[in-house]
Structure formats: C-alpha cells, structure tokens
C-alpha cells in the first residue's frame, strides 16, 4: 500500500479484470494514477501470466485488505499437458514433449515462483 502526498481521497474496493502480462503492482499503479488516488493497495498478487479479478482497495478500504489477503481463494486454470518448458511456464522454450510427463508433474516445481517462506524465495527445483 502506498500513500500519495497530493491527490484525491477515494474510498472503496474496485474489482479489476487484470490483463495478461502485467504484474498486480503495475495494474494497481495504473488504476491509482487514473483515479489520482492518495492511498491504494491490492489484496494479493496474481502472476503476470495470470488474468482475472484483482480486488483493489482505496483509502479506508485498505484497512480490510489484510483480511482479504488471508481469505481462501479459488483459481481456474487451463493446462496443456505433455509439454515441458525451460522455465515451467508458458513463456519458456519447449524442451520436451512427451505423454510420460503427465505422470511426473507432481515432482516438478516452476523455475520462477512467487512463493516465499520467511522472506526467502523458494529455490527452483529441476525435474530429473
């Protein structure tokens, strides 16, 4: 959450349909700039490769953003099985195409991950 020195005092929650290729923070900054809002924050990060609803809080509504951050969330995904990329996501180069990959998916973690434990980013795991 950030507070601007000059701008408008806007209070409320906006559900933004975040577009592909933009980080949650970049989307927040764009909307905050459009509204010229003093104070704004989001309720959790969506990966830049993800699209969907991103709740943005303004003014007094930023006080409830922590409650929304800890709330249960559901995601709907579209997955293409049998293809492995060098980064573990849609942006990487295809390094293997094989139906046997379907059975090994539980052992694989993406190279780029936003997961953290005690402020330390998880190290990438490489499928062997």
Catalytic residues: 47
Contact present, 94 and 85 (Cβ < 8 Å): yes
Task: Output the CA torsion 84→88→89→95 (10° steps).
Answer: -30
Distance CA 62, CA 22 (A): 21
Contact present, 73 and 86 (Cβ < 8 Å): no
């Amino acid at each position: 959450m950030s507070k601007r020195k000059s701008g408008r005092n806007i209070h409320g929650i906006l559900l933004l349909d975040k577009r592909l290729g933009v980080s949650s923070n970049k989307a927040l900054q764009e909307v905050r700039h459009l509204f010229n809002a003093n104070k704004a924050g989001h309720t959790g990060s969506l990966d830049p490769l993800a699209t969907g609803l991103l709740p943005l809080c303004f003014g007094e509504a930023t006080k409830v953003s922590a409650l929304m951050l800890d709330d249960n969330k559901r995601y709907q995904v579209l997955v293409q099985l049998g293809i492995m990329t060098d980064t573990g996501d849609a942006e990487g180069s295809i390094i293997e195409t094989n139906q046997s990959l379907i059975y090994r998916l539980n052992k694989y973690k993406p190279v780029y991950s936003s997961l953290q434990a005690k402020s330390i980013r998880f190290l990438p795991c490489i499928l062997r």
